[in-house]
Structures are given as C-alpha cells and as structure tokens.
C-alpha cells in the first residue's frame, strides 16, 4: 500500500456541536519566556470544524501560540477561552476531554504497542474508581479504525515507519474523543510520502467534524491541507484567511524574505511556490 493511495475507511460522522461560537480562542493573550515576551496582546480564534494552519518563520511564536492555546504555557496576561471559559480555571482533566494536543517532543517508551499507546488517550475519561470501561475499548477501536491502524495494533511502536508512528500518536489523540485537536509540526522529520499520509488523516478528521489547528512549516502543504491559514511574524498575526485569499507573493516575501511566484496547482487549485529566491535584507 503506497502512501498516496491510502484510503481511509468511512467512519460514522460525529455529531457536530450546535455551537456557533468558536470553541477555542485567545483574547489579548501575552505569552512570555522568562522576561522576553514572545506574543503580546494577541486575539485569535479557531474556526469551527476546520483545519487551521499556523505558518511563519522560525521563532515567530507559532509553537508558543499553540502551547498557549493548549494551556501548556500560562499567559502573563489575557485569556485563552475554551467554550467561553478561561482554560486555566477549568480542571485539567475537563480540558483534556475537550481539547487534545500532540506536541513535538513526544517520547516512545521501549516495547510499547500501538494499542497500548492509544490507551493513554483514555486517561482523561478514567479515574481511580473508574479504571476501564466498555466505552474505552470502543473509543480505541474507533481511533484504530480512523487512523487505519487496525492491522498494526499489536505491533511495537519502534518497529513502524515514521508515518505510521505519527498516525499512532494522532490515534491516541483521537481516542481522547475531543472536538478540538492541536498538533505541533505533525509532519516535521517525515519524508514526503509519510507527510501526505499524516496530512490526509488530519483532513479526514476535520471532515468528521473535528476542529484542528496545526503548526506547519511547508507552505504548499499548509495551503493544500488547511481551510484557514494564520500567518505569524514576530509574535503577531500578519494576516489570516482561506489559503487562496491569504497566500500571495508579498506574504511569502514578508514572512521568509523569499521572492517567488505562485501558480495554482493544476489539479487542486491550491497555490504552489515556484522560482524561489532568497532576498538579501
């Protein structure tokens, strides 16, 4: 099975929340590393049921923003609102039932199987008294199915390809059964085929009603696999909107100091960068 021909099985659609407000947003958010502020007074919200890609040059604060939105990084001022409530005022477990996070610095313990990894995703639904229930196994089967890992569930994580491994981590987040999923550079360190494998899974999850946000480095992939792009530079949002509106020569130049031309992909219509040249600043 080649990565490009990867077909995800149809999965029953999750009931979308009848909530017209965005579920996750930040208001006047300031995030600091020590004394240097990375992000100041930022307002941002994630559009419902869509894939949002956060792009920008290294050190622009995109991962910091993602950490802020997922309560890993506490704000110095301002708020992150989850369903209208301050995310830091909600119990952490409660947050974990609504928002899943896949960070970059994941560690895989020796000898863990895919299914065992996915089981960790059920932690927010368990407690000292409620250890393991039917719905846990159902959620795991659902996650295995959604990430197309059923045949591999007993394989050891370290014997898998990079793409399969990343899909296993995403499956762990799926088992968390949250309407929101944030991913920090889910395809970095993956080769082209595995990147597409992971991006297609992400797009599939959004079709089932999840709201996703991801930090992405590769602009063409960001355009192709997201519905909404947030472009950041020096801790500020320069522009945001649908890929076709937002992605311009001027933006690429502004973000990366790269001169280029944009042409639409003949098959999908999403922008492709050609004729790239670094501009001396």
Partner 1 sequence: MISWFYIPPAQRPLFSVFVSALFVLALCCFCSLLFGAGGLSLQASFQTLLGNGSADTQFTVFHLRANRTLIGLFVGLTLGIAGALMQAVARNPLAEPGLLGVSAGSSLAVAITLVLGASTATLTVGVAQFGALLGCLCVLGVARMQGQQNDPIRLVLAGAALSSLLLAVTSLLLLFDQRAADEIRFWVTGSVAGRDTNTLFSVLPSMLIAIICILYTAKPLASLALGERVAIGLGHKPQRVRAVVIVAVALLVGGATAIAGPVAFIGLVVPFAARALVGPDIRRTLWLCLPLGPIIVISADVVSRLVAQPAEMPLGVLTAIIGAPVLLLIVRSRRMPTL
Q: What does the H/E/C string look like for 139-205?
A: HHHHHHHHCCCHHHCCCEHHHCCHHHHHHHHHHHHHHCCCCEEEEECCCCCCCHHHHHHHHHHHHHH
Rounded to whole angstroms, the Cα distance separating 30 from 41 reads 5
Strands lying side by side in the sheet with 180-184: 99-102, 180-184, 211-215, 51-55, 228-233, 236-241
* Residue among 206, 157, 212, 159 nearest 184 (CA): 212
Rounded to whole angstroms, the Cα distance separating 90 from 255 reads 36
Q: Where does this chain touch partner 1 (CB under 8 A) — which range of 8-16, 68-76, 208-216, 248-256?
A: 68-76
Q: Does 268 bind partner 1 (CB under 8 A)?
A: no
Q: Does 250 bind partner 1 (CB under 8 A)?
A: no
Q: Does 93 bind partner 1 (CB under 8 A)?
A: yes
- Residue 186 CB, nearest approach to partner 1 (Å): 13
Number of residues that bind partner 1 (CB under 8 A): 35
Residues 168-207 that bind partner 1 (CB under 8 A): 173, 176
Q: Does 67 bind partner 1 (CB under 8 A)?
A: yes
Q: Where does this chain touch partner 1 (CB under 8 A) — which range of 38-46, 99-107, 189-197, 267-275?
A: 99-107
- According to CB under 8 A, which one of 37, 41, 45, 126 is a site residue for partner 1? 126
Q: Does 112 bind partner 1 (CB under 8 A)?
A: yes
Contact residues for partner 1 (CB under 8 A)?
A: 67, 70-72, 91-97, 100-103, 105-113, 116-117, 120-121, 123-124, 126, 128, 156, 173, 176
């Amino acid at each position: 099975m080649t990565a490009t021909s990867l077909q995800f099985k149809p999965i029953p659609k999750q009931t979308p929340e009848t909530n017209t407000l965005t579920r996750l947003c930040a208001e006047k958010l300031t995030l600091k590393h020590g004394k240097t502020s990375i992000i100041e007074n930022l307002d941002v919200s994630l559009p419902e049921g869509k894939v949002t890609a956060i792009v920008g040059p290294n050190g622009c604060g995109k991962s910091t923003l993602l950490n802020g939105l997922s309560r890993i990084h506490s704000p110095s001022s301002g708020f992150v609102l989850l369903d209208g409530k301050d995310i830091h005022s909600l119990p952490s477990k409660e947050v974990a039932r609504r928002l899943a996070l896949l960070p970059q610095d994941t560690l895989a313990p020796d000898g863990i199987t895919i299914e065992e990894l996915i089981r960790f995703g059920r932690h927010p639904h368990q407690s000292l008294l409620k250890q393991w229930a039917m719905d846990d196994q159902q959620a795991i089967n659902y996650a295995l199915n959604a990430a197309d890992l059923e045949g591999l569930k007993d394989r050891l994580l370290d014997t898998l390809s990079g793409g399969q491994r990343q899909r296993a981590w995403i499956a762990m987040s799926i088992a968390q059964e949250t309407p929101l999923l944030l991913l920090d550079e889910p395809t970095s360190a993956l080769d082209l085929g595995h990147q597409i494998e992971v991006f297609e899974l992400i797009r599939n999850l959004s079709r089932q009603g999840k709201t996703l946000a991801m930090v992405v480095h590769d602009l063409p992939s960001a355009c192709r696999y997201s519905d909404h792009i947030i472009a950041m530079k020096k801790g500020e949002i320069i522009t945001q909107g649908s890929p076709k509106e937002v992605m311009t020569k001027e933006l690429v130049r502004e973000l990366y100091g790269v001169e280029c031309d944009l042409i639409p992909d003949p098959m999908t219509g999403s922008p492709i960068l050609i004729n790239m040249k670094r501009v001396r600043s």
